Amino acid sequence: MTFPRPLQWLLRTVAAATGLFLLTSLAVLATWMWRGGIEGGLTAAWRLAQHGTTTVDDFRLYPSRTLEPAPSPFPFSDRTRNAAEPPPVESAPGRSVTVSQLVSSTETLALLVVKDDAIVLERYASGHGASTPSQYFSVTKSILATLVGMAVDDGLIGSIDQPVTDYVPELAAHGFAAVKLRHLADMTSGIDYAENDNPFGLHVLMNYTSDLPRMLLDLRMRATPGEKLEYKSGDAALLSLVLQRALGKTPIADYTGARLWGALGMEHEGIWSLDREGGMEKAWCCLAGTARDLAKIGRLHLGHGRVAGKRVLADRWVEEATRALPPAQAGAWGYAFSLVAAGARGWRIPGHRQGRAVSLHRPGPQRRHRAAGPRRRRHDDDRLDRRLPKPRPPRLVRRDASYSFRMNLPERPSMIVAFVSSTLPKTFQ
């Protein structure tokens, strides 16, 4: 049977495209099995096929450990009852919108404003409420760094300036002797790790693997530690392996529950995703919780490590975390409290310490990133901000003297937590 020429061309094109897709898929699978082991590679491929893109609800899909609410929860008082709608805020130069319009236009799930331990504004959408958790994504990196500071306070880790090989001696053979824990916390390690969508690279595989330690023990060096800031989830993942080894048989989630969740009076469960059942926490991305509880982490740092007069974190650690890094790393702050770029559709938690304000900001999806329908990404991409215009957040806090957590989310509605403050602008007073 002879087909018309146009149909022959179409069939050949489809066959070639299908063959190329299958060959590429097999090459990716082979690479993943080589990097992550047979089980880790096959599991990663299955998870990618089954779950697809990363979303704020990923914690519902993967093995996890639960952080129980504090035995004595601390609730923020509520000043929102019978409160009038706040005045408009400036969302762009010369353009003002109401808070409700801001929430709607950014497809926000939650907006929370706290002043002097009182909620003065709270909005939820798309079925979310005060007790609904969302994955914090790369905000988890800053929480991890805070836990490392607590481990130093507790004597579990000797010093932030210890070599990583003191805890992970397997990496000595790979040239890691000069890498200090500080380099991992500051993301200046020089590790050979690219934060991108390349399916043959480490970043995508790390999100889906069931054998995270194996991947981390296979890391290599690319540059001299301490010389250049480069945002890498691999640095945080390796730092979490250090923390886990310092904790011994205590999982990171259990330590978080005892040292952070309980001490800060968290009202709701936290959920920390694992690489496998009973395995290792994905500590660069995958802690989930509520907006109110996340605000309490900002409250901890505003209090210089004290909560209700009780020392929870050493003041020197807070000072180090909010120090500006050298000019070569301009715009960055220490211990994963980074202002290195907004990140596409990402969490930012900037704050002004002199004014005692912290804002937790998560802009909505970028319309430019949509084609005929919603375009779904395979995983959260911390470098998309280099390819997309950065949205200007409402001018609610000073941006010139701020520090931040940082995380990225895919094209899904998400969470904004706005202020933990003692000096709110008139909009929210």
**Which range, of 76-80, 223-227, 414-418, averages the lowest pLDDT?**
414-418
* CA proximity to 273, closest of 208, 220, 229, 217: 208
* CA proximity to 393, closest of 87, 89, 106, 91: 91
**Which range, of 89-93, 186-190, 217-221, averages the lowest pLDDT?**
89-93
Residue 27 has pLDDT above 80, yes or no: no
As a whole number, mean pLDDT of residues 197-207 equals 78
Residue 427 has pLDDT above 50, yes or no: no
Top pLDDT among 389 and 19 is at 19
**Which range, of 82-96, 255-269, 277-291, averages the lowest pLDDT?**
82-96
What does the pLDDT read at residue 200? 64
Q: Which domain holds residue 409?
A: 45-428
Q: How far apart are CA 154 and CA 157, in angstroms?
A: 8
As a whole number, mean pLDDT of residues 332-356 equals 41
pLDDT single digits (tens) 53-63: 788 888 999 99
What does the pLDDT read at residue 104? 78
Top pLDDT among 76 and 6 is at 76
As a whole number, mean pLDDT of residues 385-389 equals 29
pLDDT single digits (tens) 141-167: 889 999 999 999 999 999 999 999 999
CB 258 within 8 Å of CB 281:
no
Task: Give the pair of three-digit tokens for residue 148.
Answer: 């490392």
Q: How far apart are CA 167 and CA 371, in angstroms?
A: 47
Task: Give the pair of three-digit tokens for residue 95.
Answer: 């353009």
What does the pLDDT read at residue 360? 44
- DSSP state letter for 412: S
Top pLDDT among 47 and 175 is at 175
What does the pLDDT read at residue 377? 32
- Report yes or no on 20 lying in a domain: no
- Report yes or no on 408 lying in a domain: yes
CB 225 within 8 Å of CB 190:
yes
- 3-class state of residue 134 by DSSP: strand
What does the pLDDT read at residue 164? 98
What total number of domains does the chain contain? 1
**Which range, of 24-33, 64-73, 202-211, 399-408, averages the lowest pLDDT?**
399-408
- Which residues touch 421 (CB under 8 Å, ≥6 apart)? 113, 114, 115, 116, 355, 356, 357, 358, 359, 397
- Report yes or no on 343 lying in a domain: yes
What does the pLDDT read at residue 138? 83
As a whole number, mean pLDDT of residues 403-407 equals 29
- Report yes or no on 15 lying in a domain: no
- Report yes or no on 12 lying in a domain: no
Which residue type sits at 233? S
Q: How far apart are CA 205 and CA 211, in angstroms?
A: 10
**Predicted confidence band of residue 125 (pLDDT cuts 50, 70, 90):** confident
As a whole number, mean pLDDT of residues 246-256 equals 98
- For the entire predicted model, the pTM comes to 0.75
- Report yes or no on 144 lying in a domain: yes
| DSSP alpha helix (H) spans, 189-269 | 202-208, 212-216, 233-247, 252-256
What does the pLDDT read at residue 327? 53
What does the pLDDT read at residue 379? 36
**Predicted confidence band of residue 279 (pLDDT cuts 50, 70, 90):** very high
**Which range, of 115-124, 179-188, 225-234, 338-347, averages the lowest pLDDT?**
338-347
User: Mean pLDDT, the chain, as a whole number?
Assistant: 75
**Predicted confidence band of residue 20 (pLDDT cuts 50, 70, 90):** low
Rank 16-25, 195-204, 288-297, 392-401 by mean pLDDT and report only the highest: 288-297
- Report yes or no on 293 lying in a domain: yes
**Which range, of 9-18, 210-219, 348-357, averages the lowest pLDDT?**
348-357
> Residue 150 sits in a domain of what CATH number?
3.40.710.10
- Report yes or no on 27 lying in a domain: no
Rank 305-319, 334-348, 365-379 by mean pLDDT and report only the highest: 305-319
